[in-house]
C-alpha cells in the first residue's frame, strides 16, 4: 500500500473509532439521565428525611477543651 492509502485508512479508522465512542458515551448519558428520572418518579418526595439534630452529650468531659487546646498548641508549634 502506498503511504497516502495508509494515511487515508488511518484517518478512516480514527473517525469511525471516535464516532463510535462519542455515540456510546452520548447513549450512556441519556440512559443514566432516564434512569435517574425514573427512580425519582417512584421515590416519595413528600416526606423529607429527618436529619438528626446535633445535641451535646449530657456527660461532657470537663477535660476535653484542655486536651483540644494542648493538641492545637502542639500542632501549631510543630508545623
Those residues whose C-beta lies under 8 Å from the C-beta of residue 1, and which sit 6 or more positions away, are 9
Is 18 among the domain residues?
yes
Is 61 strand, coil or helix?
coil
pLDDT digit string (tens) for 2-59? 999 999 999 999 999 999 999 999 999 999 999 999 999 888 766 566 666 666 555 6
Is 24 among the domain residues?
yes
Q: Can you give the residue range of the structural domain that contains 31?
A: 1-44
Is 54 among the domain residues?
no
Is 17 among the domain residues?
yes
Euclidean distance between CA atoms 53 and 35, whole angstroms? 33
Those residues whose C-beta lies under 8 Å from the C-beta of residue 9, and which sit 6 or more positions away, are 1
pLDDT score for 59: 64
pLDDT score for 46: 63
pLDDT score for 79: 78
Number of domains in the chain: 1
Report how far apart, in Å, the C-alpha atoms of 59 and of each of 56, 64, 65 are. Answer: 9, 11, 14
pLDDT score for 62: 85
pTM of the model: 0.51
pLDDT band at 1 (very low <50, low <70, confident <90, very high): confident
Amino acid at each position: 500500500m502506498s503511504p497516502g492509502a495508509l494515511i487515508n485508512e488511518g484517518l478512516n479508522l480514527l473517525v469511525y473509532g471516535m464516532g463510535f465512542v462519542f455515540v456510546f458515551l452520548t447513549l450512556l448519558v441519556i440512559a443514566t439521565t432516564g434512569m435517574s428520572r425514573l427512580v425519582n418518579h417512584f421515590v416519595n418526595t413528600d416526606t423529607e428525611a429527618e436529619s438528626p439534630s446535633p445535641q451535646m452529650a449530657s456527660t461532657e468531659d470537663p477535660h476535653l477543651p484542655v486536651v483540644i487546646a494542648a493538641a492545637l498548641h502542639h500542632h501549631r508549634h510543630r508545623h
